[in-house]
Amino acid sequence: MAASVSQWLRSFFSCKRFHLRLRDKEIPDPHAARSLMRPFVRDERGAAAIETALGLMLILTCMLGIIECCLMVYTYSVYTDAAREGARYATLHGLDSTSCSGPSAGCADPTAANVISYVKTYASTYTAQTSSLSVTVSYPDAGGCATPSRVIVTVAYVYKPLFKLPGMSPSFQASSQGRIVY
């Protein structure tokens, strides 16, 4: 039995550096692996460069994510303001106005194209991406664009990220409501 264990150990640790002779029996040297790895473990050249590269990758990824989130919030803010301005424009251009916009019989613009154009012009003043902007103008009250009626302007937009980070293509929807006063 002792000979078979010795043969197994000899075949397992085939390198001569792993063996010690002790009274004609071979036993594995527990420090031999350390002595083989010593030239690689003690050499720390290049460790700072690797640590810097890994750190910079992490920091740059975080910075790009922060920049992208700021751009997304800015774009949402601009389109929310555009919806507010569209509702304001629609409230001031009711049935009694000379340039009426709305579904009433006396209006020259029954599809509210003037309101949609105003919203898109306002949005393009502050952002460059207005190609996928969708503007909907609705008059929920029965009076159409008469004086006490409401108008709702809804802006929908699919955000196109500047940096192609995973999971970054949310869609925004902002709406604003007002009462026609003129």
The answer to whether the CB of 106 falls within 8 A of the CB of 95 is yes
Helices (H), ranges, 93-136: 113-126
Structure tokens at 122: 């306002």
Give pTM, 2 decimals: 0.68
pLDDT in tens, the chain (182 residues): 556 666 666 665 554 544 444 455 555 566 666 666 666 666 677 888 999 999 999 999 899 889 988 998 999 999 999 999 999 998 888 777 777 777 777 777 788 888 999 999 999 998 877 888 999 998 888 877 777 888 999 999 988 888 876 776 788 899 999 988 77
> Residues with Cβ < 8 Å from 153, sequence gap 6 or more?
83, 86, 87, 90, 115, 119, 135, 136, 137, 175, 176, 177
Q: How many residues does the chain have?
A: 182
- How much is the CA Rg of the chain, to the nearest whole Å? 37
3-class DSSP assignment, residue 168: coil
The answer to whether the CB of 164 falls within 8 A of the CB of 65 is no
Domains of the chain, by residue range, sit at 2-42, 77-179
Structure tokens at 21: 């002779």
